[in-house]
Amino acid sequence: MKLRIFLAVLVGSFMVITSCADTNNDEDQTENLVLVGSRSDNGLTVKMFTDDSLIVGLNKLYIRLIDESSGEMVTEAHITHVPIMRMATMQHSCPVTNAGVQANDDDLFESELVFSMASGMLGTWDDTVSVNNELAGTMHKVVFENLSVMETDMKKDLVTYAADSNQVFYVITLNGLSDPQVGSNDFTLTVHQKTSMMSFPEAADMVITVDPQMPSMGHGSDGNIDPEYTENGKYEGIVTFSMTGYWTVDFSFAQNGEELGTVQYEFTL
């Protein structure tokens, strides 16, 4: 019994110490967000946060701006992300949806980036963030180098051929199914067309169907809802898994009545 009390005291004091350490920089620990990095340019501190870690697929990036002279947060500005994958022989960007002019209630500017590959041997991601603070009349530019983007298999390319025989690439990502459960699962697909190495506009006019299948059973599941377009290249739907085991999920894409193709994801529940 004595030992147990002793251990409890020990654990308790440890928690006090660690939580004290945490409170030192509350600007870096906002809600459950993770600080990616902090840069400074011309009297403005630019902090970048993300939800968990940066992954291949849809990511939310949160920017906090702090005026270094006043210590006040800047809540109105134009923010532009330019992510670049730097490889030995080439470089390219990825789909981006920049945040609006107003920061959210937590004084964060929320943008979305769809990383199309992981950081690693082939190359690394840099994100150049430009800030146009119209109220103060200042422009700032900071670079977050060597972003650590983790591999997932949630991103696919859909390649199709246009009438003039040009290849058309779409970057497709599937989000919300990192931990799929038996039952109904909400998911978000992002669809962006690659018009150049640096340009990935959203594809908002896709007709998408979802078809989960269990090869071992020879059938799929009921209650699926085909994804519907919401905003910024995102389509939201529901996929159901009727039991655990190995599943494939096919997404079929059509545009203007023309079948573009199908991408398949695999899951083991």
**Three-state DSSP class for residue 2:** helix
Calculate the dihedral angle through the C-alpha atoms of 85, 250, 241, 32, rounding to the nearest 10 degrees. 20
Q: Which residues, 6 or more positions from 244, have their beta carbon under 8 angstroms from its beta carbon?
A: 182, 269
Tokens of 82: 């330019």
Our CB check for other proteins shows the closer of 105 and 222 to be 222
100-108 own/partner pairs: CB under 8 Å, 24+ apart: 101/76, 101/77, 102/75, 102/76, 103/64, 103/65, 103/73, 103/74, 103/75, 103/76, 103/77, 106/30, 106/31, 107/64, 107/73, 107/75, 108/30, 108/49, 108/62, 108/63, 108/64
DSSP one-letter code for 43: T
Paired strand residues for 46: 39, 65
Our CB check for other proteins shows the closer of 125 and 241 to be 241
Min separation Cβ 145 and other proteins, Å: 41
Our CB check for other proteins shows the closer of 65 and 239 to be 239
Nearest alpha-carbon partner for 63 in 78, 85, 42: 78
Min separation Cβ 123 and other proteins, Å: 35
Min separation Cβ 225 and other proteins, Å: 10
Min separation Cβ 50 and other proteins, Å: 29
Our CB check for other proteins shows the closer of 182 and 198 to be 182
Report the amino acid identity of residue 210.
V
Our CB check for other proteins shows the closer of 228 and 231 to be 228
Min separation Cβ 212 and other proteins, Å: 11
Min separation Cβ 248 and other proteins, Å: 11
- Which residues are at the interface with other proteins (CB under 8 A)? 181-184, 214-219, 221-223, 240, 242-246, 268
Our CB check for other proteins shows the closer of 73 and 214 to be 214
